[in-house]
Chains A and B, each alone.
Chain A
Amino acid sequence: KAGVTQTPRYLIKTRGQQVTLSCSPISGHRSVSWYQQTPGQGLQFLFEYFSETQRNKGNFPGRFSGRQFSNSRSEMNVSTLELGDSALYLCASSLGPTGDETQYFGPGTRLLVL
């Protein structure tokens, strides 16, 4: 079974631009979560989707948004990029909605904002 895939793997943007990151979960997994990882703050939860519905959202500004499609693939969007948005963005998938299940992580998208 293929693992979680994320595209693109690397991205360079400038301040003020917007970016869309994509995540394809493991086949059969219906829950997708997104995380931001920076050297200063470590890993932080962004949001979680199950069956096309956002179930939870972390403490990030409204510039961060996401969605999930009927095939469970998910995208996250960051508008009006700031230097502090430079980070590794990870998505993880799991089978169901409970949260108490093993999460399978993708390789991440490394975003650099100049």
Chain B
Amino acid sequence: KNEVEQSPQNLTAQEGEFITINCSYSVGISALHWLQQHPGGGIVSLFMLSSGKKKHGRLIATINIQEKHSSLHITASHPRDSAVYICAVRLRGGSNYKLTFGKGTLLTVNP
């Protein structure tokens, strides 16, 4: 079983819809990252969370450490939001730093 599970794998929405992408993990973590990857490969770091909630523009990320779950929300979605969204966790403990990634959620927003 993958340590990081994302759902859904694929998501198609109409412009303006509210989007939610979920990430669950099975181990203790010290931080969770949400990444965005557009076609062609470039990856942008959207959020890094260790607790609570963060907001940037139309994007909101939340994390529940007790339930080992995080969500990424996009309000008023737009075709330019079409991308793969990837959740990654840093395992807790020691000086080891290793990001473990989910398989990603492919989001397509139609005009």
A residues near B, CB below 8 A? 33, 35, 37, 42-45, 48, 55-56, 58, 88, 90, 92, 97-105, 107-108, 110
B18-26, B63-71, B73-81, B88-96: which one contacts chain A?
A: B88-96
B residues near A, CB below 8 A? 30-31, 33, 35, 41-45, 48, 50, 86, 88, 90, 95-104
Which residues does chain B contribute within 8 Å of A108, judged by CB atoms? 41-42
Is B30 touching A100 in the complex (CB atoms < 8 A)?
Answer: yes
Output the least CB separation between A97 and chain B (Å).
8
Output the least CB separation between A64 and chain B (Å).
15
Which residues does chain A contribute within 8 Å of B97, judged by CB atoms? 33, 48, 55-56, 97-99
Known interface pairs A48-B97, A56-B96, A56-B97. Does A103 touch B103 (Cβ–Cβ under 8 Å)? Answer: no
For the complex, would chain A's binding face be called helix, strand, loop or mixed by DSSP majority?
A: strand
Q: Complex formed: what's the CA distance from A108 to B40 in Å?
A: 9
Which residues does chain B contribute within 8 Å of A102, judged by CB atoms? 45, 48
Output the least CB separation between A48 and chain B (Å).
6
Output the least CB separation between B23 and chain A (Å).
13
Output the least CB separation between B34 and chain A (Å).
11
Which residues does chain B contribute within 8 Å of A97, judged by CB atoms? 97
